[in-house]
Every structure is written in structure tokens, then in C-alpha cells.
Amino acid sequence: MPETSEHSAAAGHRFDTVLIANRGEIAVRIQRACRELGLKTVAICSEADREAPYGSTADSFLCIGPSSAAKSYLNQDAILLATRLAGAGAIHPGYGFLSENAAFADAVEKAGLTFIGPTASSIAIMGDKISAKRAMMAAGVPCVPGPDTALPDDPATIEHIALEIGYPVIIKAAGGGGGRGMRVVPSANSLHEAIALTREEARKAFGSPSLYMEKFLEHPRHIEIQVICDDHGNVVWLGHRDCSMQRRHQKVVEEAPAAGIAPDIIQPVGLACVQACLQIGYRGVGTFEFLYEDGAFYFIEMNTRLQVEHPVTELTSGLDIVQAQIRVAQGHVLDLTQGDVTCEGHSFECRINAEDSDSFLPSAGVVTHLALPAGPGIRVDTHIHAGYKVSPYYDSLIAKLIVHAPTRAEAMTRMREALAGTEIEGISTNIPFLRALFEDGAFARGETDIHYLEQWLKLRRAA
Ligand code: ADP
């Protein structure tokens, strides 16, 4: 870790205690990073998480509300009050919950605390996919063909936009997230119906009816670039990840680097991301998500937070992304330059979910037996233990299995071994499905796109 020169930490950014406004594996992960940096931690929980082990490993632990996330992990006033009561100077939002809520970031800063993340205005720009696209186009980042403006109401103008882009198109909610608020339109016949349905969905789910349209790419891969920026104009990108293995637009398996991408193809994209960060005055960690088709990259959105899949980049780059994120929030100068970033070997991450392996329906209950794999190049990020009660209130992610090996083929072998050594009983998990996926030939050859997993599941069901 870098030297911590006093003058490099800007006034107002100094803190020695961090409240972690999250739960589960990411609360555990952030606590670990804080401890290694010599920072004290405050854990919060809902009533459902009262017995959660991440509470007993923190320096203090406060229950802030009932089980429903809206009344606890999303309750801004309760979190700010807990921060004050516990004497914390900073809030780490983790991912999900309030991590991309500009109003919360603003409230944290206005309360004289540090939000471990970008400024509220960066979150607001990137949280609206239309303004994000506009900012990216202005910074020279390649985007999916389609206007960087909201769809108008006039049917004739809408039809004209679709014709200009060329069918198939995709209608997306400007405020969408979590794979929701999107609809593919194969031809003009279903255009207006798709817009009406998506608009209604967007109004209900995201509180804004604003929509935009872009080209629907038919066989792209999802490739993303991790960046980290300090408050002093320094930005580095940490290589790339492939997150094409998706079910219902939700990532299931991630890897770093994306296989078969030549350095001269990715290099200009990485530099464009750096340029974009400088242009919008970005601070903290972030991810630029792209679709990659026929040798070209198209920006789709930026995540202004730590991502679930950050460990694959940690294992290939050898950097602790969470520690780096906290240090830049403290105002420290980034202690590495682009030339220092070297990515080695290959890493995979499997998201282990408490869900049925065939129907994918969530599975709550008590973990009666747990055996986790270990060995060279194997990492498990989890908050569960034997006897842990998986509650039905939150996301079904219960563990992340991450492996690292010199080559992609070796990393796949290592993941098979790690999955074979993972035993979770008492609840259903997607482990059988993941084991089958890691036996798939096309996946092993790297011949998959974002639609592959859904097609694979369909064939599997039919068999
Ligand atoms: P969210 O914010 O909900 O995650 P994204 O814009 O990141 O939404 O898109 C999620 C996924 O949806 C992408 O990884 C990709 O699989 C699919 N997708 C989004 N835009 C397009 C597009 N223009 N063409 C094809 N697939 C798309």
C-alpha cells in the first residue's frame, strides 16, 4: 500500500470509522478492507439480519429497522442517524441499495460525512442512461447507434427514429437498472405497443417514464472496463471483464480478461474511458459497460459503484480495489499509474445464489451443512455459515466463488474443482446448474455471446 502523506488527504475527507450501509458478502468484504487500512467499522442490519455474523466482526453493530429493505437498508434517515450515533465519518454504500442514489450521496456530503463513491452529480449523470450516453458521446466513447435524447410522444417521429436506426431496435428506460425496463422490437408492427408497455413499466419501477431507443445488437458480448480515479486528476483502467453469461440480463458468471480481445482493440477503448472520467470529473471506482460485436465496442452504461464482479479484476491485477476506493475517498493520490497496471492470468467468478437450479425460484431457509473449497487460486467471498438462515427479503446471492490460474483453460478446470468442492445443504442453490455450465464446450472455447446462456437453458430444458 502507498505512503499516506498527510498533505495528500484533502481536509474534510479524513475519517477513521466507516459505516457500511449494506449487508451480506459485500459487508464482509468492505469490513476486511477497512480493517487492513486500520479503519474502524460500523455494521448496520435490519431485524432479519440481527444474527448475521458480519455484525459481530464489526467494531459496532446497529439495527436500523424492520426486515423490509425499504425500511432499513434503503432508509436514508435511519442510516444517517446511525452514522452520527456511531461516530463514523464515512459511509460505504457497497452495491445495490443506496449505492447509486444521487440524493443519498448528496445528503451524506451535506451532513459533513464522506460518501465512499463518486459525487452526487456524477451519479445523477450516469444514473440517467440518456445523459450518460450524451456525456460518453461528447467524450468520444463509442456508443450503440441511436439518439442521445429521450423518445418524443409523436408516433410519426418515433417511427422515423426506428427506421433510421434499423430494426431490430431496443426500447430502454432512461432510469432502468437490474436488467429491467427493456424491450426488444423486431419490426415496426410491435413498435408502439412496446413503447407503451415499457413506458408504463418505467413509470412504475423507476419513477420516470423517460425512454430511449437504440439498435438491438443480435450477437454481442458484454465486456466492461474497470476504472479508478482520485480527486487529483489521476485515472487508471484495470483491464477488462467479460460478463456475457447472463440470465434475464443478469450476470451469472464473470471472467477477466475477456477472452480473445487483442490489446490494440481494447487499448483505445480503455483510453476513451479514462478521457471520459477526466471530462466528467469522476472520482472513485466505476465500470464502463460495453457491448462488443464484430470487432467494435458500444457503450451501454456506467456503474458508479463497486461491482459484484470486482474480484476477478483484483485477482488478475493484484490490486485491492476496495482499499483503493476507500483511499481515494480519503483524498489520497492514486498510488499507481497506468504503466504500473499489469493483468496476469485468468479469473472466473460464479455467483452462488439461493435458488432452485432448474426453476431459479428463490430458496429461503437454514443452511444445514456447508463445505467451501480452498487451495491455490481459489477465493470465496461469502457471509454464510452452517446454521445461517437465508432470509427471503433480499437478493439471493449467498457466495461468490472466484478462481485464478495462468490460462483460461486452467482457470476453468480450477472452477470445476472449486464447484465440486462446494457443498451447501438445507437450501437449494444454483450450484448444479453452474457445474453443468462449466462442462459446456462452446463456453470452454469462448464462443458465447449475451444470448448464449438463455439458449443453452432452453435446450437443457427440452432435453
Ligand atoms: P441494466 O442497467 O438493467 O443492467 P444495461 O443497459 O446494462 O441494463 O443492459 C443489460 C443487458 O441488456 C446487457 O448486458 C445486454 O445483455 C442487454 N442489452 C442492453 N442494451 C442492448 C442492446 N442495445 N442490444 C442488445 N442487448 C442489449
- What is the per-residue pLDDT across 167-206, written as a single tens digit (0 to 9) for each? 999 999 999 988 889 999 999 999 999 999 999 999 999 9
Indicate the pLDDT class of residue 13, thresholds 50, 70 and 90.
confident
pLDDT per residue over 377-395, tens digit each? 999 999 999 999 999 999 9
Query: Does residue 170 line the site of ligand 1, with CB under 6 A?
Result: yes
Catalytic residue status for 305 = yes
User: Averaged over 350-373, what is the pLDDT?
Assistant: 97
Q: Whose CA is nearest to atom 22 of ligand 1?
A: 216
Within 10 A of 40 (CB to CB), how many other CB atoms are there? 18
Query: Does residue 277 line the site of ligand 1, with CB under 6 A?
Result: no
Q: Does domain 221-462 have CATH number 3.30.390.10?
A: no
Comparing C-alpha atoms, which of 230, 215, 210, 158 is closest to residue 188? 158
What atom of ligand 1 comes closest to residue 215's alpha carbon?
23
pLDDT per residue over 14-27, tens digit each? 899 999 999 999 99
So what's the pLDDT on residue 177? Answer: 87
- Domain residue limits, the chain: 11-117, 145-215, 221-462
Query: Does residue 450 line the site of ligand 1, with CB under 6 A?
Result: yes
57 Cβ contact partners less than 8 Å away, ≥ 6 residues apart: 28, 31, 43
CA distance 338 to 251: 28
3-state helix vs strand vs coil in the chain, percent to 5: 35, 25, 40
Indicate the pLDDT class of residue 11, thresholds 50, 70 and 90.
very low
Record the cell numbers describing residue 221, joined without a space: 458480448
**Ligand 1: distance of its center to the CA of 126 in Å?**
15
CA distance 151 to 121: 23
8 A C-beta contact, residue 29 and residue 310 = no
So what's the pLDDT on residue 113? Answer: 98
From residue 23, how far is each of 165, 201, 221, 308 by CA, in Å?
42, 28, 31, 13
Query: Does residue 432 line the site of ligand 1, with CB under 6 A?
Result: no
69 Cβ contact partners less than 8 Å away, ≥ 6 residues apart: 46, 97, 393, 394
Q: Is the pLDDT of residue 92 over 60?
A: yes
8 A C-beta contact, residue 136 and residue 214 = no
CA distance 411 to 78: 43
Query: Does residue 222 line the site of ligand 1, with CB under 6 A?
Result: yes
Q: Where are the beta strands (DSSP E) in 248-283?
A: 250-256
Q: Does domain 11-117 have CATH number 3.40.50.20?
A: yes
Record the cell numbers describing residue 390, joined without a space: 437465508
> Catalytic: which of 241, 305, 379, 408?
305
With b for 16 or more beta-carbon neighbours within 10 A and e for fewer, the 165-201 pattern comes to bebebbbbbbbbeeeebbbebeeeeebeebbeebbeb
8 A C-beta contact, residue 306 and residue 94 = yes
What atom of ligand 1 comes closest to residue 214's alpha carbon?
23
Q: At what angle do helices 191-206 and 155-165 cross, to 10 degrees?
A: 100
**Ligand 1: distance of its center to the CA of 98 in Å?**
21
Q: Report percent pLDDT > 70 for the chain.
A: 97
Q: Whose CA is nearest to atom 12 of ligand 1?
A: 249
CA distance 202 to 211: 8
Residue 140 three-state SS: coil
What atom of ligand 1 comes closest to residue 450's alpha carbon?
16
Record the cell numbers describing residue 386, joined without a space: 452452517
User: Averaged over 223-232, what is the pLDDT?
Assistant: 97
8 A C-beta contact, residue 142 and residue 220 = no
Mutate to test the pocket of ligand 1, among 182, 208, 289, 303 (most ligand atoms within 8 A of CB): 182
Q: Which amino acid is at 377?
A: G
Beta bridge partners of 143: 299
Indicate the pLDDT class of residue 463, thresholds 50, 70 and 90.
confident
User: Averaged over 399-408, what is the pLDDT?
Assistant: 98
So what's the pLDDT on residue 4? Answer: 38
- Helix or strand run (H / E) with residue 199: helix 191-206
So what's the pLDDT on residue 3? Answer: 37
User: Averaged over 326-347, what is the pLDDT?
Assistant: 96
User: Averaged over 404-419, what is the pLDDT?
Assistant: 98
Record the cell numbers describing residue 117, joined without a space: 463513491
Record the cell numbers describing residue 318, joined without a space: 493484484
Dmax of the chain from CA atoms? 64
User: Averaged over 347-373, what is the pLDDT?
Assistant: 97
Place of cell 499489469: 342
CA distance 192 to 187: 10
So what's the pLDDT on residue 69? Answer: 97
182 Cβ contact partners less than 8 Å away, ≥ 6 residues apart: 170, 171, 172, 173, 176, 198, 249
pLDDT per residue over 256-284, tens digit each? 999 999 999 999 999 999 999 999 999 99
**Ligand 1: distance of its center to the CA of 291 in Å?**
8
8 A C-beta contact, residue 247 and residue 268 = no
Phi, psi of 339 (to 5 degrees): -65, -20
Query: Does residue 217 line the site of ligand 1, with CB under 6 A?
Result: yes
Q: Is the pLDDT of residue 144 over 50?
A: yes
Beta bridge partners of 400: 351, 381
pTM of whole model > 0.75?
Answer: yes
Report the mean per-residue pLDDT for the chain.
95
Place of cell 449494506: 22
Q: Is the pLDDT of residue 354 over 50?
A: yes
Q: Which amino acid is at 413?
A: T
Place of cell 466463488: 401
**Ligand 1: distance of its center to the CA of 161 in Å?**
19
Indicate the pLDDT class of residue 5, thresholds 50, 70 and 90.
very low
Q: Does domain 145-215 have CATH number 3.60.20.10?
A: no
Query: Does residue 176 line the site of ligand 1, with CB under 6 A?
Result: yes
8 A C-beta contact, residue 43 and residue 62 = yes
What atom of ligand 1 comes closest to residue 180's alpha carbon?
3
**Ligand 1: distance of its center to the CA of 211 in Å?**
14
So what's the pLDDT on residue 295? Answer: 95
CA distance 350 to 431: 9
